[in-house]
Amino acid sequence: MSLGLLAWLVSRVEPGELAASFGAVPAGAAAAALALYLGSQLASSLRWFLLAGALGFGGAWRRYLGAYFAGMFFNLFLPTSIGGDVWKVFWLAGGEPRRLRAAATVLADRALGFAAMFLLGALAVTAADPGAAARFRWPLVGAAAAAAGLAVLAAAAPGLLRRLFPASAGRLQALEELARHPARVGAAFGLSLLLQGLCMGAVAVLGRGMGLAPPVAFYYAVFPLIALASLLPVSFNGIGVREGGFVFFLGIEGVPAGQALTLGLTFFGVQVAASLLGGLAYGVGLHGGRAGGAA
């Protein structure tokens, strides 16, 4: 599916146009985007470390950092853009009967990330001028409001969830424990805002470096929608789906398909570069083999 989607996207662009677009990507913009993306992943690993600590998992942050980057590496070969999360769950559980709790840390990590991403997207379409992306105002605002409501419900009324879903009481125990650490969860959400801002900023830096017309707010507004589409389990690491999203949304702003595809592929190249660093971290054992035991 990934190869088919990419082949279809490339077939819509003249070869000379695509080559010229890649030649227009400044090396400085690509380096800045990589630095911003790596910074976002550092913040993301710290967020996971905080959530894991709240559920009793030990170990130094350095090892979580190594495991997080290793998960990025495995994302390259697993379906959807979050396939590497499965590896992180098994690493954190350490082969012991704690996989449900380990999965809760990864799911909470992702949930906070998506909540922050849609919040930033909603702010971009309400507090700034995102150009044509303004037409997606209500989906973004609605998603941000829904995420905020679910977060408040999960934090303030875990007992209510237990009563509503009695058959899942055991699975909700980890959620209740997280609710007892509001400071950690709040800090994790703050890190989510930081890392999502850096990640979207990396796309904006590339777009502006290429001389594309959309304002910076545009990238913050449409990136959540592109990221959501990349979760569809039809391709490896969202390859093809993500690039198609760039072509579609940038096309609304009048950006030629060749330039939009170049932006999508260049951002994917940034992700691959960071993920290959994750493979190196895994190869040298930066993750330390397995996480620490329960606190």
Summarize pLDDT for 24-56 with one digit per residue, the tens: 899 999 999 999 999 999 999 999 999 999 988
- Overall domain count for the chain: 1
- Name the phi and psi angles at 160, rounded to 5: -65, -40
In a domain, 60, yes or no: yes
pLDDT at 281: 80
pLDDT at 155: 61
In a domain, 6, yes or no: no
Summarize pLDDT for 92-122 with one digit per residue, the tens: 887 666 788 888 888 888 888 988 999 998 8
State the chain's mean pLDDT as an integer.
83
pLDDT at 289: 59
Lookup: tokens for 142: 């609605």
In a domain, 2, yes or no: no
CA distances from 50 to 89, 183, 268, 293 (A): 15, 10, 28, 15
Lowest-pLDDT range of 106-115, 255-264, 276-285? 276-285
Instruction: Evaluate whether 88 touches 109 at the Cβ level (below 8 Å).
Output: no
Could you tell me the pLDDT band of residue 294, with boundaries at 50, 70 and 90? very low
Supply the range of the domain harboring residue 258: 27-283
pLDDT at 290: 58
Residue type, 138: W
Instruction: Evaluate whether 104 touches 88 at the Cβ level (below 8 Å).
Output: no
In a domain, 292, yes or no: no
Summarize pLDDT for 150-179 with one digit per residue, the tens: 766 666 655 665 666 555 555 667 777 887
- The stretch 2-6 carries a mean pLDDT of 73
CA distances from 161 to 142, 152, 174, 177, 204 (A): 22, 12, 12, 13, 39
Residue type, 31: A
Share of the chain above pLDDT 70, in %: 84
In a domain, 225, yes or no: yes
pLDDT at 128: 79
Residue type, 151: A
In a domain, 68, yes or no: yes
